[in-house]
Amino acid sequence: MKYFSTNIGAGIKQQYGSTLLVALIMLVLLTLIAISAIKSTTSSLQVVGNAQFREEAKAAAQQAIEKVISDGNFKDTPPAPQNIDVNQDGNADFTVTFAPAPSCISFKPADPNDVGFPTVCASSIGAVCYWTVWDIRAVVSDVQTGANVVLHQGVKTIAGLDTAVIACGV
């Protein structure tokens, strides 16, 4: 009977650290995957932050436009810039300006049969009031970052003859 002798030490000597080399390559690959994931997460957070800023800026512009429209003086006097506090912390988050001033886009004489016709417009001499359509352009600036958003809002309102002549060119 023949016995084969196995030399266990000979197999280990022949490897010359290949396990260490494979482990180092795997460690480098895992590090690259981790760095890629971190960069992807960072850019995703920037995208979400920009989307949030845009929505807050639109809300600030809408709030300022609603103040201007409810005031009603925008037809005769350009609105003043407004500081808007979106998060109600007492500090202005956005500055809203109205440049150029609101402009009259169209007009037509008001008819007494129109819905919402004001009684002050009734006259025996004919139309003294006009339905006017206005474009109000709000430019929102972030006080912190300097980023800008522009929002346009149209509004239909009744105007007297003097406003229609001056602003709309009747």
Q: What is the pLDDT of residue 139?
A: 93
The answer to whether position 27 is within a domain reads yes
The answer to whether position 78 is within a domain reads yes
Q: What is the pLDDT of residue 9?
A: 57
Q: What is the pLDDT of residue 164?
A: 67
DSSP of 19-59, one letter per residue?
Answer: HHHHHHHHHHHHHHHHHHHHHHHHHHHHHHHHHHHHHHHHH
Q: What is the pLDDT of residue 18?
A: 80
Q: What is the pLDDT of residue 14?
A: 61
Q: What is the pLDDT of residue 96?
A: 92
Q: What is the pLDDT of residue 159?
A: 80
Domain count, the chain: 1
Rounded to 5°, the CA angle 33-34-39 comes to 100
Cα(64)–Cα(79) distance, integer angstroms? 10
Cα(157)–Cα(164) distance, integer angstroms? 11
Domain that holds residue 65: 8-168
Q: What is the pLDDT of residue 15?
A: 60
The answer to whether position 70 is within a domain reads yes
Q: What is the pLDDT of residue 30?
A: 94
The answer to whether position 2 is within a domain reads no
Q: What is the pLDDT of residue 13?
A: 60
Q: What is the pLDDT of residue 109?
A: 82
The answer to whether position 156 is within a domain reads yes
The answer to whether position 3 is within a domain reads no
Q: What is the pLDDT of residue 41?
A: 84
Q: What is the pLDDT of residue 65?
A: 92
Low-confidence ranges of the chain (pLDDT < 50): none
Burial of 10 (0-12, 13-18, 19+ CB in 10 A): exposed
Q: What is the pLDDT of residue 1?
A: 56
The answer to whether position 16 is within a domain reads yes
